[in-house]
Amino acid sequence: MRFFRALFGWMPGGVAVLVAAVCALFTTFTGGSGVTIMALGGLLYPILRNEGYSERFSLGLVTASGSLGLLFPPSLPVILYSIVANVPADSLYIAGLVPGLLLVVIVALYGIRSAASRRPTRQAFSIREALVGRRGAPSGSCRCRCWSWSHVRDGSDDDGRGRRRWRSPTRC
Protein backbone atom coordinates (compact mmCIF):
# COMPACT_ATOMS: atom_id res chain seq x y z
CA MET A 1 0.00 0.00 0.00
CA ARG A 2 2.74 2.42 0.91
CA PHE A 3 4.53 1.75 -2.38
CA PHE A 4 1.42 2.29 -4.52
CA ARG A 5 0.38 5.38 -2.54
CA ALA A 6 3.84 6.85 -3.12
CA LEU A 7 3.55 6.16 -6.85
CA PHE A 8 -0.03 7.31 -7.45
CA GLY A 9 -0.78 9.69 -4.56
CA TRP A 10 0.27 12.78 -6.51
CA MET A 11 -2.52 12.55 -9.11
CA PRO A 12 -6.21 13.21 -8.64
CA GLY A 13 -7.84 9.84 -8.21
CA GLY A 14 -4.54 8.27 -7.23
CA VAL A 15 -6.26 6.21 -4.55
CA ALA A 16 -8.63 4.76 -7.16
CA VAL A 17 -5.64 3.89 -9.35
CA LEU A 18 -4.03 2.34 -6.30
CA VAL A 19 -7.11 0.19 -5.67
CA ALA A 20 -7.28 -0.98 -9.31
CA ALA A 21 -3.58 -1.88 -9.36
CA VAL A 22 -3.47 -3.58 -5.95
CA CYS A 23 -6.63 -5.62 -6.57
CA ALA A 24 -5.44 -6.73 -10.02
CA LEU A 25 -2.07 -7.74 -8.61
CA PHE A 26 -3.58 -9.59 -5.65
CA THR A 27 -6.15 -11.42 -7.79
CA THR A 28 -3.39 -12.56 -10.12
CA PHE A 29 -1.68 -14.45 -7.32
CA THR A 30 -4.71 -15.69 -5.39
CA GLY A 31 -6.63 -16.85 -8.46
CA GLY A 32 -9.98 -15.83 -7.03
CA SER A 33 -11.71 -12.48 -7.25
CA GLY A 34 -13.88 -13.28 -4.24
CA VAL A 35 -10.78 -13.81 -2.14
CA THR A 36 -9.44 -10.45 -3.25
CA ILE A 37 -12.68 -8.64 -2.56
CA MET A 38 -12.95 -10.13 0.92
CA ALA A 39 -9.27 -9.77 1.85
CA LEU A 40 -8.53 -6.34 0.41
CA GLY A 41 -12.02 -4.88 0.63
CA GLY A 42 -11.69 -4.46 4.37
CA LEU A 43 -8.46 -2.53 3.87
CA LEU A 44 -9.23 -0.53 0.75
CA TYR A 45 -12.86 0.41 1.38
CA PRO A 46 -12.07 2.58 4.45
CA ILE A 47 -9.22 4.25 2.55
CA LEU A 48 -11.58 5.13 -0.30
CA ARG A 49 -14.23 6.43 2.11
CA ASN A 50 -11.66 8.56 3.96
CA GLU A 51 -10.60 10.09 0.64
CA GLY A 52 -14.18 11.23 0.09
CA TYR A 53 -15.42 8.68 -2.43
CA SER A 54 -19.08 7.72 -2.18
CA GLU A 55 -20.13 4.39 -0.73
CA ARG A 56 -21.48 3.17 -4.07
CA PHE A 57 -18.33 4.12 -5.94
CA SER A 58 -16.05 2.57 -3.30
CA LEU A 59 -17.92 -0.74 -3.25
CA GLY A 60 -18.14 -0.84 -7.04
CA LEU A 61 -14.47 -0.07 -7.50
CA VAL A 62 -13.29 -2.74 -5.06
CA THR A 63 -15.69 -5.31 -6.53
CA ALA A 64 -14.85 -4.55 -10.17
CA SER A 65 -11.11 -4.32 -9.54
CA GLY A 66 -11.18 -7.64 -7.73
CA SER A 67 -11.71 -9.54 -10.96
CA LEU A 68 -9.18 -7.70 -13.14
CA GLY A 69 -6.23 -9.92 -12.31
CA LEU A 70 -7.84 -13.11 -13.59
CA LEU A 71 -6.38 -12.49 -17.04
CA PHE A 72 -2.76 -12.23 -15.91
CA PRO A 73 -0.34 -15.09 -15.21
CA PRO A 74 -0.25 -17.17 -12.96
CA SER A 75 -4.03 -16.97 -12.59
CA LEU A 76 -5.51 -20.31 -11.52
CA PRO A 77 -8.76 -20.07 -13.55
CA VAL A 78 -6.77 -19.68 -16.78
CA ILE A 79 -4.68 -22.74 -15.89
CA LEU A 80 -7.80 -24.78 -15.16
CA TYR A 81 -9.44 -23.65 -18.41
CA SER A 82 -6.32 -24.59 -20.37
CA ILE A 83 -6.43 -28.10 -18.90
CA VAL A 84 -10.15 -28.59 -19.57
CA ALA A 85 -10.07 -27.08 -23.08
CA ASN A 86 -6.72 -28.68 -23.95
CA VAL A 87 -5.25 -25.30 -24.94
CA PRO A 88 -1.74 -24.20 -23.98
CA ALA A 89 -1.86 -21.88 -20.96
CA ASP A 90 0.82 -19.60 -22.35
CA SER A 91 -1.29 -18.76 -25.40
CA LEU A 92 -4.26 -17.98 -23.13
CA TYR A 93 -2.11 -15.66 -21.03
CA ILE A 94 -0.77 -13.90 -24.12
CA ALA A 95 -4.31 -13.51 -25.42
CA GLY A 96 -5.50 -12.05 -22.10
CA LEU A 97 -2.61 -9.68 -21.47
CA VAL A 98 -3.74 -6.73 -23.63
CA PRO A 99 -7.43 -6.92 -22.62
CA GLY A 100 -6.42 -7.23 -18.96
CA LEU A 101 -4.12 -4.22 -19.09
CA LEU A 102 -6.78 -2.28 -21.00
CA LEU A 103 -9.37 -3.05 -18.32
CA VAL A 104 -7.02 -1.95 -15.54
CA VAL A 105 -6.33 1.32 -17.40
CA ILE A 106 -10.06 1.92 -18.02
CA VAL A 107 -10.94 1.36 -14.36
CA ALA A 108 -8.06 3.62 -13.29
CA LEU A 109 -9.16 6.35 -15.72
CA TYR A 110 -12.71 6.12 -14.41
CA GLY A 111 -11.38 6.59 -10.89
CA ILE A 112 -9.37 9.62 -11.98
CA ARG A 113 -12.40 11.10 -13.73
CA SER A 114 -14.64 10.61 -10.74
CA ALA A 115 -12.07 12.15 -8.38
CA ALA A 116 -11.41 15.20 -10.53
CA SER A 117 -14.81 16.69 -9.67
CA ARG A 118 -14.35 16.50 -5.89
CA ARG A 119 -10.82 17.93 -5.58
CA PRO A 120 -9.11 15.25 -3.48
CA THR A 121 -6.07 15.78 -1.29
CA ARG A 122 -2.80 14.84 -2.92
CA GLN A 123 0.50 13.54 -1.68
CA ALA A 124 3.70 14.85 -3.23
CA PHE A 125 5.67 12.29 -5.21
CA SER A 126 8.80 11.07 -3.45
CA ILE A 127 11.13 8.49 -4.93
CA ARG A 128 12.51 7.85 -1.43
CA GLU A 129 9.02 6.99 -0.13
CA ALA A 130 8.44 4.68 -3.09
CA LEU A 131 11.70 2.84 -2.45
CA VAL A 132 11.02 2.53 1.26
CA GLY A 133 7.49 1.33 0.52
CA ARG A 134 8.83 -1.25 -1.92
CA ARG A 135 11.11 -2.75 0.69
CA GLY A 136 8.52 -2.52 3.42
CA ALA A 137 8.53 -0.47 6.55
CA PRO A 138 11.70 -0.61 8.60
CA SER A 139 11.50 -2.56 11.83
CA GLY A 140 10.25 -0.64 14.81
CA SER A 141 8.17 1.80 12.80
CA CYS A 142 4.88 -0.09 12.93
CA ARG A 143 2.18 2.32 14.02
CA CYS A 144 -0.74 -0.07 13.77
CA ARG A 145 -2.87 -1.05 16.72
CA CYS A 146 -3.73 -4.70 16.94
CA TRP A 147 -5.51 -7.19 19.15
CA SER A 148 -3.29 -10.00 20.29
CA TRP A 149 -3.28 -12.87 22.71
CA SER A 150 -1.61 -12.03 25.93
CA HIS A 151 1.43 -14.32 26.25
CA VAL A 152 2.83 -13.55 29.67
CA ARG A 153 4.50 -16.59 31.27
CA ASP A 154 3.67 -15.63 34.84
CA GLY A 155 0.05 -16.77 34.56
CA SER A 156 -1.44 -13.33 34.05
CA ASP A 157 -2.53 -14.31 30.56
CA ASP A 158 -5.66 -16.12 31.70
CA ASP A 159 -8.88 -14.89 33.26
CA GLY A 160 -8.64 -17.01 36.42
CA ARG A 161 -10.61 -19.91 34.93
CA GLY A 162 -7.79 -21.19 32.74
CA ARG A 163 -8.97 -19.39 29.61
CA ARG A 164 -6.83 -16.94 27.69
CA ARG A 165 -8.02 -13.38 27.60
CA TRP A 166 -7.70 -10.75 24.90
CA ARG A 167 -5.30 -7.99 25.71
CA SER A 168 -6.35 -4.46 24.88
CA PRO A 169 -5.04 -2.97 21.63
CA THR A 170 -1.36 -2.17 21.93
CA ARG A 171 1.44 -1.16 19.66
CA CYS A 172 2.61 -4.01 17.46
pLDDT tens over the chain, length 172 residues: 667 677 777 778 888 888 998 899 898 888 788 888 888 888 899 988 888 888 999 999 999 998 888 888 888 888 899 999 999 999 999 999 999 999 999 999 998 888 877 766 666 766 776 666 666 544 444 444 333 333 444 445 455 555 555 444 444 4
Q: How far apart are the first and last CA of the chain?
A: 18
Q: Can you list the alpha helix ranges (DSSP code H) found in 51-88?
A: 55-65, 76-85
Beta carbons of 71 and 97 less than 8 angstroms apart: yes
Which residue(s) pair with 158 in the sheet?
164
The model's pTM is: 0.66
